[in-house]
Chain A
């Protein structure tokens, strides 16, 4: 029973990342009709916002300590972060400790800006071009972005630990009176994802801006004829989508240390999620994200792998095939979207 509940939690957690990336992908696709292969790279850049902030906060001055030796026998250079010397060691180290949550503040403007630049500078010229061209150009962009990151940060993963207060495990079973230990940060990640998802839906549902965007998604031309500058709003939606991917990335850092190709690792998966959910359907993307996350978790249990050897390797793809054969447009897809 414990095992079962733990796998549900694991699934929800994996699903959070899938759902957030797929949500952004669908926003871009639903509004602009663009297949964005650089979306994984945006997720990765988000994670590296946290790395950058951590590096920035830990910027240090060095003092040579003659009492200690480095590996060559020279005096050891002791590094003290500026933050610690300005705010005192305790406050300073707390600030560094909290660099991941703080990075959200950095990531939002960076990602929105990056999204807008991408849309205005590049994607805009590809609205009328075939999907194949969009794929090629965004794939090229994804490679360029990740190679730039690799050039500055190397290929090795970089730890971005959660704040001490939010690491460790908590007993989530306490509510129902049983013991169920689960990492605190993973719970934080799940709550954060739910918050963002609700935020995006509320934004689209309850604001005028969102209403116009939704109208534009349904019928772009008519909205345009009404004299509304739909292009500008769609461009902003691109920025929002980039921010969603980026935030998913920032918060993912403590779960698994970021590396430059983490975006590519998620790219194929997130496309599968979007398609299983149904092209252009936001609730579909979220639903499919959580569903595939949970299924993936259960497929990796010993019980599943002894029943069907290798099931953990192929489950996602197997589910995708079954869903697409049973439901032609994924779980909640609309007719006529991306079918030609």
Chain B
């Protein structure tokens, strides 16, 4: 189907089902229960899951295929956001032109930076991209937000003011980003018994776009172009000796992943019309690197998992405070309750960074291929168990090797 082989089609269908059903899957606990703390099915976080999924998918096209580790991809995300908000400010709150503009501007920006940075490889490339991104951040945070020439609105973040021109905006349209009149924030809440599920217009727009670009990524991975990029990763020198100029290929991959980042930035602005400079900081670039490696670099689904993992921690674990802990353990006797709270306390709430750091280490130590690797191991283990059962019935065992 869609020019994909059977395995990829299944993967695509699985991803599609998961994203469509996400409002149900992410809200497994009844709203009033203590476990509701772990529900992630509210619009903002669901949007973040898919948007950062897009960002990581794009990053993986560069890093997973070519092995070029960019430490500056957040700059393209930031530029995309700024472009989108400027479209809102100047023309209309409709998200379509904003997103298109975000992709185009990020594409041009990544072409410029990629053209220069790709003259070097290895860590020299990483530092070049890092340098460009940090320069963009510094410029956006202060230099380009001075009162005389305010392009980014600096610390506060670029946002739409009532006195902005908004050429094509008219009464009757929502005063927020919308898709031909459908506000990105409109949400249908469905109450089923003790459960409550949110269906958010913005989320489904992001999800549809993510499915589209995920499909595109699968096609790139399976195309001759994708093969060429893998060849760059495995041995660029040999490729060069065969008389092939690899630069156009790596540059294309860089620009494509930059455009993915721009798309993610545009969507972030479309969901919430504010673009802050912190989006471009090196920590933000580092975050997408972590997402990709954590999920499994070079795999199709890995980056999406990694993005979900990190965003879940940032938004769910940071909100667990002592009050919540006491509620959880309230069924225990007082002494034990306080002890449990004392034990868990350093790892949640303001300690969520600590938990994240520990998990980074655990995943990379025990699952060299990231979360996807973990999934495969579980799958293999289940299969081998089934296999063993069959073996037992046939009465033979195969040696471990």
Partners in one complex: yes
Least CB separation from B357: chain A residue: A143
Q: Mark B116-130, 1 if CB is under 8 A from A, else 0.
A: 100111111001101
A131 to B: closest C-beta gap in Å: 7
Give the number of residues in B that approach A within 8 Å (Cβ atoms). 42
Asked if B128 and A324 sit within 8 Å, CB to CB, the answer is yes
Which residues of the other chain, B, contact A135 by a CB distance below 8 angstroms? 289, 293
**Closest chain B CB from A270 CB (angstroms):** 11
Q: Name B123's contact: one of A35, A316, A328 (CB within 8 Å).
A: A35
A182 CA / B359 CA spacing, docked (Å): 46
Interface hits, A310-340 → B, CB 8 Å: 310, 313-314, 316-318, 320-321, 324-325, 328-330, 338-340
Chain B residues, Cβ within 8 Å of A133: 293, 364, 368
B124 and A330 form a contact (CB under 8 A)? yes
Task: Find chain A residues with CB under 8 A from B354 CB.
Answer: 143-144, 147-148, 151
Task: Say how far B274's CB is from chain A's closest CB, in angstroms.
Answer: 23
Looking at chain B's contact residues, is the secondary structure mostly helix, strand, loop, or mixed?
Answer: helix
How many A-B residue pairs have C-beta atoms within 8 angstroms? Tell me: 125
Which residues does chain B contribute within 8 Å of A1, judged by CB atoms?
A: none
Which residue of B127, B290, B359 contacts A320 across the interface (Cβ within 8 Å)? B127
List A112-150 residues whose CB lies under 8 Å from chain B. Answer: 122, 125, 129, 131-133, 135-137, 139-144, 147-148
Given contacts A143-B353, A317-B134, A321-B132, contact A310 B139 (CB under 8 A): yes
**B124 contacts A271, C-beta separation under 8 Å:** no
Give the residues in chain A near B139, CB-CB below 8 Å. Answer: 310, 313-314
- Residues 346-393 of B at the A interface (beta carbon under 8 Å): 346, 351, 353-354, 356-361, 364-365, 368
Contact of A317 among B116, B123, B132, B359 (CB under 8 A): B132
Residues of B contacting A143 in the complex (Cβ-Cβ under 8 angstroms):
353-354, 356-357, 360
Complex-state Cα separation, A84 to B100, whole angstroms: 70
Residues of A with C-beta under 8 A to B358: 140, 144
B293 & A132 in contact (Cβ 8 Å cutoff): yes
Whether, in the assembled complex, A73 has its beta carbon less than 8 Å from a beta carbon of chain B, the answer is: no
Q: Chain A interface mostly helix, strand, loop or mixed?
A: helix
On whether A328 and B360 interact (CB within 8 A), knowing A139-B290, A317-B135, A320-B128, the answer reads no
Q: State how many angstroms separate the Cβ of A304 from the closest Cβ of chain B.
A: 14
Flag if B135 contacts A151 (CB, 8 Å): no
Tell which of A137, A139, A309, A320 touches B143, judged by Cβ atoms closer than 8 Å.
A309
Chain B residues lying within 8 Å of A325, measured Cβ to Cβ, are 116, 119-120
Query: Could you say which residues of chain A place their CB within 8 Å of the CB of B225?
Result: none
A272 in contact (CB, < 8 A): yes
The residue in chain B whose Cβ has the minimal distance to the Cβ of A313 is B138
Instruction: Give the contacting residue for B135; candidates A132, A140, A148, A318; CB below 8 A.
Output: A318
- Shortest A112–chain B CB gap in Å is 22
Q: Indicate if the CB atoms of B121 and A340 lie closer than 8 Å.
A: yes
Question: A193 to nearest B CB, angstroms?
Answer: 23
The answer to whether B131 and A320 touch across the interface, beta carbons within 8 angstroms, is yes
Q: Closest residue of chain A to B345, judged by CB?
A: A151
- Is A268 in the interface zone, CB < 8 Å from B? yes
Checking B123, B128, B353, B365 against A279 with a beta-carbon cut-off of 8 angstroms, the contacting residue is B123
Docked complex Cα distance between A99 and B356 (Å): 35
Most buried by A among B353, B354, B368: B354
Q: Does A275 contact B (CB under 8 A)?
A: yes
B131 contact from A125, A129, A144, A272, Cβ within 8 A: A272
Q: What is the distance, in angstroms, from A271's C-beta to the closest C-beta of chain B?
A: 6
Q: Which residues of B contact A279 (CB under 8 A)?
A: 123-124
With known contacts A338-B122, A340-B121, A139–B360 Cβ distance under 8 A:
yes
Please indicate the chain B residues that have their CB under 8 angstroms from the CB of A314 in the complex: 134-135, 138-139
Q: Which residues of B are found within 8 Å of A272, using beta-carbon distances?
A: 127, 130-131
In addition to A271-B127, A272-B131, A310-B143, 12 A-B residue pairs with Cβ atoms within 8 Å of each other are A132-B63, A135-B293, A136-B293, A136-B360, A137-B360, A140-B364, A143-B357, A310-B142, A313-B138, A317-B130, A320-B127, A321-B128
26 contacts between A and B (CB under 8 A): A131-B69, A132-B69, A133-B364, A136-B293, A136-B294, A139-B360, A140-B356, A142-B357, A143-B357, A144-B354, A147-B351, A147-B353, A268-B134, A271-B130, A310-B143, A313-B138, A314-B134, A321-B116, A321-B132, A324-B127, A325-B116, A325-B119, A339-B120, A339-B122, A340-B121, A340-B122
